Amino acid sequence: MNYLLHLATIFSIQVLLVQSMNLALGFTGILALSTIAFFGIGAYTSALLTLNGVPFIVAFLAAGILPAILGLLLGLTSLRLRADYLGIVTLAFGQIVISVMQNWDGLTNGALGLAKIPKPVIFGFTFDGKLEFFLLTFFLSTLLMFFLFRLLKSPFGRVLETIREDEVAAMSLGKNTVKYKLIAFGVGAAIAGFAGSLFAHFITFINPQSFVLDELS
């Protein structure tokens, strides 16, 4: 039973990660290969904050906000590029993130990673059991998925689909396509960061090798 709960929890986290990619590539047509980097940034952010006594809820929010900010900054410098060049830039960004994780020993503990990451504590309740953590992950994942579903069914989401199918047509309708792509990129980065936070607190140990591209397979 514990093994099934373990698999179900990992599956819920991976669903969030895949939906982050789907928002960029599937709905907007952005060839972004930086999802795993934002996943790692979220994981390290949440782990470092909670290891230093910050409450889980604050750390979880920060794990989404920081990747979103970095995603917006990356998007500002790269989203005007053609798809193949954009893929190269975002892939390079991911490699830079891994390099920082490996070499900034004073912050990330380098290749040794971060151990003994605390389980989430919310309103005095510790989610340290397999069932409790699965329920927390399922709830947060469902909440984020509902937000994403509503976003994509809104006029904003329809503009994203128009951009994916024909960006020139979207521009001819007066839509600022770069702005829409930038928002989608930032939201996708935030969702990946939230997934990273859940991953870190579930596994309780992370290192740079946890966030190589193979993690998406």
Residue 49 pLDDT grade (very low, low, confident, very high; cuts 50, 70, 90):
very high
Q: Which residue has the tokens 């996708």?
A: 188
Q: How confident is the model at residue 217 (pLDDT cuts 50, 70, 90)?
A: very low
Q: What is the pLDDT of residues 55-101, one digit of tens each?
A: 999 999 999 999 999 999 988 888 777 767 888 888 889 889 999 99
State the residue range of the domain holding 40. Answer: 11-209
- What phi, psi does 63 have (nearest 5°)? -65, -20
The reply to whether 114 falls in a domain is yes
- Three-class DSSP category at 206: strand
Is 49 a domain residue? yes
Query: Residue 214's pLDDT is what?
Result: 62
Would 6 be classed as within a structural domain? no
pLDDT band at 184 (very low <50, low <70, confident <90, very high): confident
When divided into structural domains, the chain yields a total of 1
- What's the mean per-residue pLDDT of the chain? 87
In a domain, 52, yes or no: yes
Residue 4 falls inside a structural domain: no
With respect to residue 127, please indicate whether it lies within any of the assigned structural domains.
yes
- On whether residue 5 sits in a domain, the answer given is no
Q: Per residue in 91-133, pLDDT tens?
A: 889 889 999 999 998 888 988 989 999 999 998 888 888 899 9
Domain presence at residue 142: yes
pLDDT above 70 for 190: yes
